[in-house]
Amino acid sequence: MTADYHNPSQNSLLNALPVDEYQRLLPHLELVQMPLGKVLYESGDELHHAYFPTTCIVSKLYVMENGASAEIAVVGNDGMIGIALFMGGGSMPNRAVVRSAGYAYRLRAPLLIQEFDRSGGRRSGGLHGVLLRYTQALITQMAQMAVCNRHHSVNQQLCRWLLLTLDRLPSNEVSITQELIASMLGVRREGVTEAAGKLQKDGLIVYSRGHIRVLDRPGLEARVCECYQVVHSESSRLLSSVPPASARRTAMTPHLRAVR
Amino acid sequence: MTADYHNPSQNSLLNALPVDEYQRLLPHLELVQMPLGKVLYESGDELHHAYFPTTCIVSKLYVMENGASAEIAVVGNDGMIGIALFMGGGSMPNRAVVRSAGYAYRLRAPLLIQEFDRSGGRRSGGLHGVLLRYTQALITQMAQMAVCNRHHSVNQQLCRWLLLTLDRLPSNEVSITQELIASMLGVRREGVTEAAGKLQKDGLIVYSRGHIRVLDRPGLEARVCECYQVVHSESSRLLSSVPPASARRTAMTPHLRAVR
DNA sequence: CAAAGTATGTACGCTACCGAACATAAAACC
DNA sequence: GGTTTTATGTTCGGTAGCGTACATACTTTG
């Protein structure tokens, strides 16, 4: 809620862009507030913007005919929402929901597409390369979710969920109800209550009515399944293959200038 | 096994290419036999070729530390193996295995990358657009697998598996053991035996030692979960957005000329 | 402060699936 | 032709998660 400091380079993908592209996009990046529960797009919707989260977290949720659902990917400041825009196939059969309030920068669809195409030929460097590499990380994440759904217990999956969330948050406190977690893990609310109860009893977390505070991160890491590490390290591997342009950030504080 | 008629345009992606690109790739497309069980790449391997199946079927399998596994995608003549090549992030943490013998055309990695980059700017038409749209279909398929793993019974999943396989085969007979199916569904072999037993008892399939023949496809469709239809129609939607170049096929029979 | 709403706790029977062990029969091998 | 290997059938106890129902307690609202 505090309007302290916002900058597009807080998003890893934007931060990974070469200077010229970053500058070109800057004037078109619009800072938007992302309240909990906001739906960025619904299954089948046409997308009008690409969203680059900085402090919020977005879930890609799949909702079935009977209402049952499952999270198929998490996107924080390490990614973006709207890959369908440049993949060229129109809408995707899922839903994107803000599951942790915060901010994001958004870019109008035609601009994203234009810049994506423009940087097409040059391997790796530009937006084109950055987004494709990110898409690959996303694919890995989804594959891991599929496997985790099949083979691991609710307890393990809750640990995975918490850790993936923590990675995308500045604090160690997650604001969310067990009901919502359940809908993302695709299990009953009671199952989450029970699993969370165990974690609390063992002193790894404390929680009450919509707030979970993690006390012992290493403890969670000790209980989580391998899936967490795979997603975590794959995503940082694919990002780190580009030199970060973090020097830019303090030097020009470009967004502040562009916004007012 | 009969070396009747082979043509790159039997693969939907190749068939969707504009004439000039198709012609350019033709001399470099190498017809290869794909025996059951052949591993195209292992988790972490560097890829040397992209494979475009015509009559074979390939599974993308995720294998976990303890040996448990799950299929995360099926690829037949509707797709290709090796998206990591043009996504730019190097290897993928999974395994690709031939699960139904047949043929495929392959293309050396540098050539694929070159052509992909070359067709970068032009929206939709070229290899670039075709492969990105295919990747989106693949993402949809994986998401659906994740959800199916979570919510649907072994019975339903077996039906889904059979139907997705049939869609990629010329006949109604699948050559595979229940043991292998089990490893793809990520369940016990006994679970598959039981589910297959039911289907046989109800006259939908007959099978014996590594061969399953489907007698009543509508019957399977009546029992399958919604997941099948989603994958099926999404994949044809994303392909059909490009006019097929099937006229070319009979006109020039290009491969036959190129091969001998 | 009372009432309604929301988040979490608990209990119970039920089912699908697991893990393991073993039986049978068709194929492959020598 | 007999032995080994491989694919499938069957059983049985154990359990994780489901569906349901209801209890409790904190929070918001009037």
Two structure tokens written together for A98: 């803000």
Q: Tell me, yes or no, if A186 comes closer than 8 A to chain B by beta carbon.
A: yes
DSSP string of A70-83, one letter each residue: EEEEEESTT--B-T
Question: What is the pLDDT, as a whole number, of residue B121?
Answer: 66
DSSP, res A39: E
Question: Which of chain D's bases lie under 7 Å from a protein CB?
Answer: 6-11, 16-21, 26-27
Q: pLDDT for A185-233, tens place per residue?
A: 999 999 999 999 999 999 999 999 999 999 999 999 999 999 999 999 8
Alpha-carbon dihedral angle through residues A87, A91, A93, A99, given to the nearest 10 degrees: 90
Q: By three-state DSSP, how is residue B10 classified? A: helix
Residue A95 has pLDDT above 90, yes or no: yes
Protein residue minimizing CA–C1' distance to C7 = A209
Element (H, E) at A104: strand A102-108
Whether the predicted pLDDT of A250 surpasses 50: no
pLDDT on residue B5: 84
pLDDT bin (cut points 50, 70, 90) of residue B241 is: low
- Which residues in A lie closer than 8 A to residue B79 (C-beta atoms)? none
Which of A62, A121, A143 has the CB atom closest to B147's CB atom? A62
pLDDT of residue A258: 31
pLDDT cut 90: percent of chain A above it: 77
For residue A124, the model assigns a pLDDT of 63
**Inter-chain touch B133–A89, beta carbons under 8 Å:** yes
Read off the pLDDT of residues B176-204 as tens digits, 9 standing for 90 and up: 999 999 999 999 999 999 999 999 999 99
Is the pLDDT at A154 greater than 90, yes or no?
Answer: yes
Give the model confidence (pLDDT) of A61-87 as tens digits: 999 988 899 999 999 999 999 999 999
- How far from each other are the two terminal CA atoms of chain A, in whole angstroms? 19
The least confident of A5-19, A22-36, A116-130, A181-195 is A116-130
pLDDT at position B259: 30
**Residue in A with minimal Cα distance to B115:** A121
Between residues B126 and B121, the one the model is more confident about: B126
Say how far B148 CA is from D3 C1', in Å. Answer: 44
* CB atoms B70 and A151 under 8 Å: yes
- Per-residue pLDDT tens for B50-73? 999 999 999 999 999 888 999 999
Residues 6+ apart with CB under 8 A from A118: A126, A128, B121
Residue A238 has pLDDT above 70, yes or no: yes
Q: What is the mean pLDDT of chain A?
A: 88
Please state, rounded to an integer, the average pLDDT across all residues of chain B: 88
The per-residue pLDDT for range B137-148, each reduced to its tens digit, is 999 999 999 999
What tens digit of pLDDT does each residue of B23-40 get?
999 999 999 999 999 999
Report the residue from B88, B149, B234 with minimal CB separation from A149.
B149
The DSSP annotation for B180-218 comes to HHHHHHTS-HHHHHHHHHHHHHTTSEEEETTEEEES-HH
CA A224 to C1' C8, in angstroms, rounded, equals: 24
pLDDT for residue B124:
63
Q: Is the dihedral of CA A8, A14, A19, A24 positive or negative?
A: negative
In tens, the pLDDT along A114-145 reads 999 988 766 667 899 999 999 999 999 999 99
Chain C: nucleotides below 7 Å from protein CB are: 6-11, 16-21, 26-27
Residue type, A23: Q
* Interchain pair A144, B62: CB under 8 A: yes
> Which tens digit of pLDDT belongs to each residue from A40-58?
999 888 999 999 999 999 9
CB A79, CB A140: distance < 8 Å = no
For residues B41 and B97, give the distance between their C-alpha atoms in angstroms, rounded to a whole number. Answer: 8
Strands B95-100 and B57-63: antiparallel
Residue B247: what pLDDT?
42
pLDDT value, residue A241: 57
User: What pLDDT score does B97 carry?
Assistant: 94
Q: Against a cut of 0.95, is the pTM above it? A: no
pLDDT at position B119 is 84
- Return d(Cα B155, Cα B146) in angstroms, integer: 16
CA angle A118/A120/A124 to nearest 5° reads: 120
Q: Which residues touch strand D (CB under 7 A)?
A: A 153-155, 186-188, 190-191, 208-209; B 177-179, 189-190, 193-194, 196-197, 200, 207-210
